[in-house]
Amino acid sequence: MNIIDSIKMSVLTPIHPAGIPFIVLFFFLTIIIGWFWSPLYFLGFTLTAWCVYFFRNPPRVTPVYLGSNKNNLIISPADGKVIEISQIIPAQEIGLPEGKWTRVCIFMNVFDVHVNRSPMLGQITYKKYIPGSFFNASLDKASAENERLILNMETENGKKIAFVQIAGLVARRIICDVDIGSQIKAGEVFGLIRFGSRVDVYFPSDVSVMILKGQKMIAGETIIGDFSKKSKSVKENLDEK
């Protein structure tokens, strides 16, 4: 599907509420500047259409296990490309217990859907906003130096995971609609980042990794990991795939 087809579909796609003020602003600026010089109408309406496209919030169908295996799947919180899968010892600011955890980093460019969705069903137990720089979000140092918002979740099965919204070179605003104590479902919208940005997901190192570096992710649909399957190591999982 090309960009034109995506824009056509976005007309019928729900818009995240955070985008409405920007869409209205772009529209009225278009009317004003076009009044003085009509060729600017084309530029203004193009930018307005792009704004509608950027803040789209398409419906997603979140996969779940049934029966006793319910809520074992970790679902992608963001659209975009997987730029890193690694085992690391998280910084203290992440709020996770000491030890090695698997980290999956998902980079969103300006054409990806920027609405973020919960990776699992559970309760938010930790929330921390950290001001910082605005380096390109695809760089490794972005995890430690860029503006970011950290959320920890205790899942319905008593597991712990963390996910981090990270601002990028263009992104200057992180929106998070949940707080400590919030109960959210897998695939439920919890926030948004404007405009290019990244989301990191942390989960136990023995959880099976179901994706590959470079893979395209769909928020609320792509399965990242599976608590019901043991993983010997991230490297072995990648070699098997």
Considering the domain architecture, whether residues 86 and 127 belong to the same structural domain is answered as yes
Is position 232 within any domain?
yes
Name the one residue in this structure whose structure tokens are 């490297």: 235
Give the tokens for residue 13.
């796609």
pLDDT value of position 234: 46
Q: Is residue 170 part of a domain?
A: yes
Distance CA 167, CA 126 (A): 19
Residues identified as active-site: 197
Is the Cβ–Cβ distance between 194 and 92 less than 8 Å? no
From residue 233, alpha-carbon distances to 51, 119, 199, 203 in Å are 42, 21, 22, 13
Q: Is the separation of the CB atoms in 209 and 225 below 8 Å?
A: yes
Query: Which of 26, 54, 82 marks a domain boundary?
Result: 54
Q: Which among 64-68, 96-100, 133-137 has the top mean pLDDT?
A: 96-100
What's the start-to-end Cα distance of the chain, in Å? 27
Query: What pLDDT is recorded for position 12?
Result: 64
Q: Based on the domain organization, do 28 and 143 belong to the same domain?
A: no
Give how many domains the chain has, as a whole number. Answer: 2
Average the pLDDT over each of 5-14, 41-50, 140-149, 172-181 and give the range with the smallest value: 5-14
Dist. CA 165–CA 80, nearest whole Å: 13
Q: Is residue 62 assigned to a domain?
A: no
Average pLDDT for residues 41-56, to the nearest whole number?
79
Residue 176 lies in a domain: yes
**Closest alpha carbon to 153 in 192, 190, 184, 122:** 122
On whether both 189 and 214 belong to a single domain, the answer is yes
Supply the pLDDT for residue 178.
95
> 11 with 99, same domain?
no
For 132, the domain range is 67-240
What is residue 132's predicted lDDT score, i.e. its pLDDT?
Answer: 78
Residue 61 lies in a domain: no
pLDDT digits (tens, 9 = 90+) for 67-99: 445 688 999 999 999 999 999 999 999 999 999
Angstrom distance (rounded) from CA 148 to CA 182: 19
Instruction: Tell me the C-alpha to C-alpha distance, in Å, between residue 125 and each of 122, 143, 180, 220.
Output: 9, 21, 5, 21
* CATH code, 193: 2.70.70
